[in-house]
Structure 1
Amino acid sequence: MPSDSRDLDLGKFDEYMEALIRDWHAPGIGVSVVRNDQIVLTRGYGYRDAANLLSFTPSTLFPIASNTKLFTAIAAGLLVERGLLSFDEPIRHAVPSLRFYDPSLDAAVTLRDMLGHKTGVPRYDMIWDDSDYSTKELFERIRFMKPVAPLRSRMIYNNMMYEAVGHIIELMSGKPWDQFVRDEILTPLGMQRTLFTYGGAKADGQGDYALPFSERRDSDEFWQLPAPKDDERSPAGSIVTSLEDIARWSIMLMNDGVIDGKQLIPASVLKATLVPGLPWPTGMSDLLGFDTDLNGVYGMGRMTSVFRGHLLTSHGGNLRAFHSQVSYLSNEKIGVSVFVIGDHCAPLSNAIGFDIYSRALGLEATDWTARFRDFCIKAKATMREARERSVPRAVPNTRPSHDLADYVGSYEHPAYGKMNITMDGTQLQFGFRHIDLPLNHFHYDRFDTPDDEAKGAWSASFLTSTLGDIDRAAMQLDQIEAVFVRLATRPEADVLAKLVGTYETPLGMKIGISLNRDGDILLSAPGDPGEVLKPLKGLQFRSNDFPDVTFEFVFQDGRVTELRHWDAHVEIVWPRTGDAVPADTLEDDALLKS
């Protein structure tokens, strides 16, 4: 251990860590310890790459997940410091384009609410997680997120709010979130081994980055999980850094923005992130049956609590197989950061820090790791037994309402994006984000995927329109039922052009069919504003306002001869009377531009 650690007695720490690697069957662990303005320890144990036995080093690049949030909160604070934003005025004053689910939130939500998880809006992580949406596109989807609690009534962790703040930083500074954080935070702090994407870590030239290994869910065999996407830049959780850089970060935080004798981050910005907000939920302590720290209160991008009578500042970060904890004792100025590879040993990111603090403070030892280990062993055995006992709960002797080919298509939700159902031979396939799994009949019009260890289990229930066609699919996402609407295939432009013309009802009314600026079919009658018809199939279209009202264009000898219009009770034929849309059919030219 370096000589500057002599005033911080950690005991036989290397032996302790080697025992943890062995007892927990951990692929790799990294530990950083700082005190005052000195680095005490940056050391890796085990492997950053368990398959090739490559050592975890102080320079190993590691995804810190939600520990990214404090970088984003501080970046926003720098804009507050410059008068471009305010923590406590409604954010719409500075960013009118931000829309929430209802006008009451539009009028009241502040930047502090967003960074402090106080909006009352649930996580909606499936909008963000593993999507291909840009930060701007995620920002635009905030309006679909329905609150479940009144504003500022309880803390509900929300990654999407940090995505939105990342876009706000770009709007107000003129720089993308990652460039602003690089220029204003990382470069001044000398954090040269801190990047914004996992792909950047893989391509940095040193080849020293962590790989996502963990035990299989039903055995102790290691397997390599899907890694974070190479190109994902997320203000909520994409930063990749090293033990050496996180040590500098911790020193700066503990010393109110000062490092190497220089004030690099304004103390006022850091103190603002520590202003108490709402209590941290205690569900995990209730589940464990014991408390590690007490009275957790979230600020912005980090929280404070009490550890054995001492004020602790901390934040965790969790991705599949990557778990981190960055913390420090505020008064004693002792900081500990722990990086852990492996979902089965994730609690070590907390337990190791608690043990180091107990050692450094000379407190009576509490075997935190043993407590967590007992819980993890029990949890893994319980879930394995539950899977073994699982039996199908399907209603017997049911069948789909349609042929399997009728379910094939693309379905879209305004917030979650597209879900694709395809056919591989006689097997339906489920495609969502980067997931591609077989889709098997469960009962009625419900279809399920297998429970895949890497990609999970998914279920879709298909719904029919009043016309009897499959037009929607419902999935449970983020504790809500999300309904995906089937996308119809619009005829080619040259075919649509042939539909334009005038059609006459049996009572002599002239009906105009034209194309609007988006190439959609527009039906209009004298005195009406016109209605866009939605493609159904072939040359069939559906009323946008009345889904059970449909229209079909009839071709004979290469030209349209009539338009058939029907609902559940009547069918009417409108013969075509001309190729042009009569002027008196349209109120004005604006109709063509609708």
Structure 2
Amino acid sequence: MKLSSPKTLFFALTLVVNTAFAQEKAETSEAKPINIEKQLKGFDDYANKLLKDWNCPGIGVGVVYKGKLVFAKGYGYRDYGKKLPVTPNTLFQIASNTKLFTAVSAGMLVDDGKLSWDKPIKNDVPTLNFYNNDLNNTVTLQDMLGHRTGISRHDMVWFKSNITGKQIFDKIKYLEPSAPLRTKFLYNNLLFSTIGQIISQKSGKSYEAFVHENILNPLQMTTSTFEEAAMRKTGDFVVPYNEKRDSDILYEIPIYFDGEGLNPAGGLMSNINDISHWLMALMNDGKYNGKQVIPSDVLKATLEPGLSLPNSPKYNEILNANYGLARMSVPYRGHLLLMHGGDLNGIHSQISMMPKDNIGVVVFVIGDQSAVLYNTITSNVYERLLGLSQTPWSERLLKDHIDAKKADKEARSKATNSQIPNTKPSHPIADYLGDFSNEPYGTITISQKDKDLQFKLNNLILPLHHYHYDRFDTDNDENLGQYSINYRTNPQGDIDGFTISLDEGEVFFNKKVDANFSNPQKLKIYEGKYESAGTIVTVALKNDQLTISIPGQPDYQLVPYKENEFKLKEFSDIKVVFKLENGKVTSVTQVSSTGEFELKKKE
């Protein structure tokens, strides 16, 4: 997962290319053995130069060759403040590199006959519901693992929350697709979380227990863990440091941990030594120490071509990217390269292999400013080992980074250019406060804090300031980003919600009313028949929702609004007001732009 901006959250993808190109003749033949020490001569100087050029706190690099870990080394610091070095045992959050563990786990259940790759997943998991029946009847496990459902990220559903896997599973039905099925690659962490829940349902044990029992333990990945406490107990783990956006100052940021619900998408922590065992198995048809840990057919399934990714508009070395199931393929200079990246704030990883050359590489990088180094280092290691000329990736990408940093600073200097001066909110400040809800995102709370307002979504809390008219903006935090909310006034003149840009689009949050107004026991007092000029309407509770029935018209749902006041769900400009005397309802009045129409309650 990568938090490059609050509106573009992702477990990062990396360089990929269509496996069809994998048959191209390699520039060097694997028949000739590789002298690791000779080929990596000068790499230490190269890595240390990267630390300096990119203001990078620390890097970890591991190389597996012909089934053995032949190189494992740290550069710089795992804790820059305390000057503690990166070691082959330093635990990094591998973020989206967890996804292949999830795909393999699901594949094991396919092998057991409990799931199917290419039949509708709902056939195997009836309780899973998508946004519509078209998706229910067609989405497969392969679609979910290959990010080809047409459902986009919606990462703010889980960001800085304590959301559980079951809660995510239940929210999938609210995620409207933004592209037709199997037409566009749209990365989705929530669907991987959902697969974790499915693994738990089908195996009868937690997702984490399944992965430990079937993968980590057989591969002797003894330090790898999903638990923060276990990570801290080792004493050798990463403390992330980022570069200030307008300077070269490094500062510590909190280690980010998602709720357990995101573990299947990116919750595993591991190190060079442990990941080398994973690479050995992946490169040896699923075998480790002579034992078949991962079924061979499962590994083959993860490599089946899915959807191609867009090509870089600037660099031509890597073209025609293709994503399989939780990993990608690219013919890098004539050699088949399989890879995936993983990103969290301040911590970045890439796990890759050239299976036909018997080489695997793991790279860990600390610092968002130097995240792209996992691509740079990965390419450089392979080029050195294969005797290829070294592509100047660092020089190219460093120029891009410096240009982007300059452009970002210039853009922020113009942030208030569109602000209209000397405007005021249309309502008293108290009207803008309260809880505002949306499915699937949950609740945003706007509260008063000292002389200002405060914005809270899950555990994301930021100051909120008036911008102009009924627009309010949070501070532009360099880690958490900025949010702009635009309040809406309903036809009755009240603030009834706001629009905010989250993830890939605008989302509307309704202002929540007092929960007592929706209490079915309270709503029962409004039931009955009401009459005016020979017309009789009926108010009744149906599935705990209050409805009004008018002869010759469809039933209308009455949405609680204020004490004894409701709005018609279908018509925002109409409200219904009940009149009470001595605790009993005596009449109901329809209020709209055309007037007020009162109907007396029939005894």
Q: Does the alignment reach a TM-score above 0.5?
A: yes
Task: Choose the corresponding residue for 2:439, options 414, 426, 430.
Answer: 414
* Structure 1: segments with no counterpart, 5+ residues: 579-594
Q: Distance in 2 between matches of 1:144 and 1:461?
A: 23
* Equivalent position of 1:219 in the other structure: 247
Structure 2 length-normalised TM: 0.87
Q: Distance in 1 between matches of 2:243 and 2:525?
A: 61
Task: Choose the corresponding residue for 2:363, options 333, 338, 344.
Answer: 338
Q: Does 1:480 align with 2:509?
A: no
Task: Choose the corresponding residue for 1:562, options 586, 589, 593.
Answer: 586
Q: Mean Cα displacement is larger for which, 121-130 or 296-305?
A: 121-130
Give, in angstroms, the shift of residue 279 of structure 1: 1.4
1:7-42 CA deviation, whole Å, 9 max, x = no partner?
A: 663113323222222222211111111111111122
* Equivalent position of 2:3 in the other structure: none
Aligned to 1:279, the other structure's residue is in SS state strand
Aligned to 1:571, the other structure's residue is in SS state strand
Q: Mean Cα displacement is larger for which, 335-344 or 527-536?
A: 527-536
1:499-534 CA deviation, whole Å, 9 max, x = no partner?
A: 46767544588877777785x667679999987643
**1:252–1:259 CA contact under 8 A, matched in 2:** yes
Give, in angstroms, the shift of residue 303 of structure 1: 0.8
* Equivalent position of 2:321 in the other structure: 296
Give 1:379-398 correspondences, 5 Å limit: 379-398=404-423
**1:561–1:575 CA contact under 8 A, matched in 2:** no
Q: Mean Cα displacement is larger for which, 86-95 or 558-567?
A: 558-567
Aligned to 2:114, the other structure's residue is in SS state coil
1:82-125 CA deviation, whole Å, 9 max, x = no partner?
A: 11111112222212333333322222222111111222222222
**Could you tell me which amino acid in structure 2 is paired with residue 496 of structure 1?**
K
**Could you tell me which amino acid in structure 2 is paired with residue 315 of structure 1?**
H
* Equivalent position of 2:131 in the other structure: 101
**Could you tell me which amino acid in structure 2 is paired with residue 165 of structure 1?**
I
Aligned to 2:377, the other structure's residue is in SS state helix
Aligned to 2:137, the other structure's residue is in SS state helix
* Equivalent position of 1:429 in the other structure: 454
Give 1:95-494 correspondences, 5 Å limit: 95-198=125-228, 200-202=230-232, 205-229=233-257, 231-232=259-260, 233-282=262-311, 285-286=312-313, 289-491=314-516
Q: Distance in 2 between matches of 1:95 and 1:11?
A: 53
Give, in angstroms, the shift of residue 352 of structure 1: 0.8
**1:491–1:539 CA contact under 8 A, matched in 2:** no
Q: Does 1:73 align with 2:99?
A: no
Q: Mean Cα displacement is larger for which, 501-510 or 142-151?
A: 501-510
Q: Distance in 1 between matches of 2:281 and 2:570?
A: 59
Give 1:11-22 correspondences, 5 Å limit: 11-22=41-52
**1:326–1:338 CA contact under 8 A, matched in 2:** yes
Task: Choose the corresponding residue for 2:522, options 449, 473, 496.
Answer: 496
**1:46–1:55 CA contact under 8 A, matched in 2:** yes
* Closer/same/farther in 2, CA of residues 566 and 191 from structure 1, 3 Å limit: same
Q: Distance in 2 between matches of 1:541 and 1:131?
A: 33
**Could you tell me which amino acid in structure 1 is paired with residue 349 of structure 2?**
S
* Equivalent position of 1:29 in the other structure: 59
* Structure 2: segments with no counterpart, 5+ residues: 1-33
Between the two proteins, the alignment pairs up a number of residues equal to 567
Q: Distance in 2 between matches of 1:458 and 1:197?
A: 31
* Closer/same/farther in 2, CA of residues 230 and 305 from structure 1, 3 Å limit: closer
Q: Does 1:534 align with 2:562?
A: no
* Closer/same/farther in 2, CA of residues 390 and 571 from structure 1, 3 Å limit: closer
* Closer/same/farther in 2, CA of residues 278 and 514 from structure 1, 3 Å limit: closer
* Closer/same/farther in 2, CA of residues 339 and 406 from structure 1, 3 Å limit: same
Aligned to 2:309, the other structure's residue is in SS state coil
Give RMSD over aligned pairs: 2.8
% identical equivalent positions: 41
* Equivalent position of 1:45 in the other structure: 75
Q: Distance in 2 between matches of 1:219 and 1:54?
A: 24
Give, in angstroms, the shift of residue 330 of structure 1: 1.2
Q: Distance in 1 between matches of 2:200 and 2:252?
A: 35
Give, in angstroms, the shift of residue 191 of structure 1: 0.9
Q: Distance in 1 between matches of 2:571 and 2:217?
A: 58
Q: Distance in 2 between matches of 1:157 and 1:273?
A: 16
Q: Distance in 2 between matches of 1:501 and 1:192?
A: 64
Aligned to 1:375, the other structure's residue is in SS state helix
Q: Distance in 1 between matches of 2:70 and 2:159?
A: 36
Q: Mean Cα displacement is larger for which, 312-321 or 430-439?
A: 430-439
1:44-95 CA deviation, whole Å, 9 max, x = no partner?
A: 2211111222222221111111111100110111011111111112222212
**Could you tell me which amino acid in structure 1 is paired with residue 365 of structure 2?**
V
**1:119–1:151 CA contact under 8 A, matched in 2:** yes
**1:197–1:230 CA contact under 8 A, matched in 2:** no
Q: Distance in 1 between matches of 2:533 and 2:319?
A: 78
**Could you tell me which amino acid in structure 2 is paired with residue 559 of structure 1?**
G
Q: Distance in 1 between matches of 2:106 and 2:95?
A: 18
Q: Mean Cα displacement is larger for which, 531-540 or 172-181?
A: 531-540
Q: Distance in 1 between matches of 2:515 and 2:536?
A: 25
Structure 1 length-normalised TM: 0.88
1:531-557 CA deviation, whole Å, 9 max, x = no partner?
A: 76432223333334444443444555x
